[in-house]
Amino acid sequence: MRGEQEGLIIGYVSIMRDITERKRAEEELREASRRIENILESITDAVWSVDREWRFTYINEHALGIMRAIKKNNELTHEDILGKDASR
């Protein structure tokens, strides 16, 4: 009899969650990040930030221009800098 019962579905479980609030919070966070970046980009001084390990997390256009001059590399991009060690 055991062999006949194997694989027999006797029920199922469904878990449903309303993620509306989480999605709204994520969108608000994205919008806040865009506003902050717009503010930082509008500053005419050089602005950059680093994390606890001294890796670049942000660099605005003016700071990027200074980095290009220091490194003598006009091709340098944000992507070349972000995540790199600022002490080097």
Q: pTM for this structure?
A: 0.61
* 4 in any annotated domain: no
* 56 in any annotated domain: yes
Which domain does 37 fall in, by range? Answer: 19-81
Q: How far apart are CA 41 and CA 59, in angstroms?
A: 9
For the chain, list residues with pLDDT below 50.
1
Q: Where are the beta strands (DSSP E) in the chain?
A: 48-50, 56-59
* 11 in any annotated domain: no
Number of domains in the chain: 1
Tokens for 53, please give them. Answer: 């390990």
* 1 in any annotated domain: no
Q: Tens digit of pLDDT for each residue in 46-60?
A: 999 999 999 999 999
* pLDDT the model gives residue 88: 79
